[in-house]
Chain A
Amino acid sequence: MSGRKETVLDLAKFVDKGVQVKLTGGRQVTGTLKGYDQLLNLVLDEAIEFEREQDDPLKLSAKTRQLGLIVCRGTAVMLVSPTEGTEEIKNPFQEADGEQTTRS
């Protein structure tokens, strides 16, 4: 049992907790983790998807939509993080407006 590690990421501690999931293609959802498997397929309850700006798909818009109970395909999952204790910070590498980044 102690020999080899089964998973790098132990999702057991996130079960019944809020998680945020980013998917390849840019979709982003949050919900309560209800289940998972070794391939990182996830079951989320009360899932909410954050919609993106039509003209800039990299930006999240304020709009969300309720999805309910969902399965996230493991093949599409890029990032899983607990909602609690997570906050987004300003990009420290972004120059203030008007300033031009100089690259050599």
Chain B
Amino acid sequence: MSQNNPSQLLPSELIDRCIGSKIWVIMKGDKELVGTLCGFDVYVNMVLEDVTEYEYTAEGRRITKLDQILLNGNNIAILVPGGSPPDAA
């Protein structure tokens, strides 16, 4: 069934290739995380290491550093492999 999927690049494959390298996770809300991807499951819950969390509030940007986290996949909107930190803004 999935064999006749003409799609060239499967999303899950791309995330899988990201394991061990930096990834930038953009949540549905105003939070973003940059960290090293250690693994993920079918729900795209993920384990990240050396994480920097950016939270955009009216007062500005709040930054939190975390060693290792389990991130629930429920609130993830966008994944950016390579994970250049959102510093340009």
Contact = CB atoms under 8 A, between A and B. Distances in A.
**A and B pair up:** yes
A35 to B, nearest CB: 3
A35 B14 CA distance: 10
Contacts of A98: none
Contact of B9 (A12, A38, A43, A72): A43
Contacts of B84: 68
Interface residues on A, range: 20 to 34
B10 A35 contact: yes
Contact of B44 (A67, A69, A73): A73
Interface of B: 1-2, 5-12, 14-15, 26-29, 44, 58, 73-74, 76-82, 84, 86, 88-89
15 contacts: A23-B78, A24-B77, A25-B27, A35-B9, A37-B2, A37-B11, A37-B12, A43-B14, A65-B88, A67-B80, A70-B78, A71-B15, A71-B79, A73-B76, A76-B76
